[in-house]
Structure 1
């Protein structure tokens, strides 16, 4: 599921600002990066199921993880985790509570990076 209605996609930010804002809201960087791309994950437990809200970004000036690197945020996505296969993004019926939590977290992230 894509979260296009929260206008965080296409924002250009310093990596340091995005990193700090995301981690302060519970997103994990977890060394998921190369020099051009980065992913911030929020793990959500709902009953016996696990979901991941992912905020991807890529470097447009500099290299990740340098603090002064400028990154462009991509559209956040929600996926359901299936052991042992991984995360599926399409064809899922996501619980309303999970979607609401994602909307709240993404709104908070947008507010934090706009300060």
Structure 2
């Protein structure tokens, strides 16, 4: 599921500042990065299954591995994990409405924090 129209796809921001903001909302970069791309993930374990809120980005300047990069963010995603295959993001997935609402709230708050330092 894509969370469109929140403006994330228009954001270019410093990696270190993004790491700090995302961590405040439980979105962790951990080992989900390479030298050009990042993935901030938050895991939700519910009775309906395991879900991930994911914000992806790629470096438009600098190097993620050196912790000196400017990232272009992409549209946030919500996916369901299926063992052993991985996470599915398709529109045919059923997501609990309470989880969707919670993710929308998190994303709105994250975007407001990011907007404080990118404008």
- Shared fold by TM > 0.5? yes
**Deviation of the 1:65 alpha carbon:** 3.8
**Deviation of the 1:37 alpha carbon:** 0.2
Q: Does residue 111 of structure 2 align to residue 110 of structure 1?
A: yes
Count of aligned residue pairs for this structure pair: 115
TM-score by length of 1: 0.94
Q: Which runs of 5+ in 2 are unaligned?
A: none
- How big is each residue's C-alpha offset from its partner over 1:27-52, in whole Å with a ceiling of 9 and x where there is no partner? 11111111100000010122241100
After superposing on structure 2, the runs of 4+ consecutive aligned residues of structure 1 that deviate more than 2 Å are 65-68
TM-score by length of 2: 0.91
- How big is each residue's C-alpha offset from its partner over 1:40-68, in whole Å with a ceiling of 9 and x where there is no partner? 00101222411001000000000004444
- How big is each residue's C-alpha offset from its partner over 1:59-80, in whole Å with a ceiling of 9 and x where there is no partner? 0000004444111000101100
**Deviation of the 1:5 alpha carbon:** 2.1
Q: What is the match of residue 93 of structure 2? A: 92
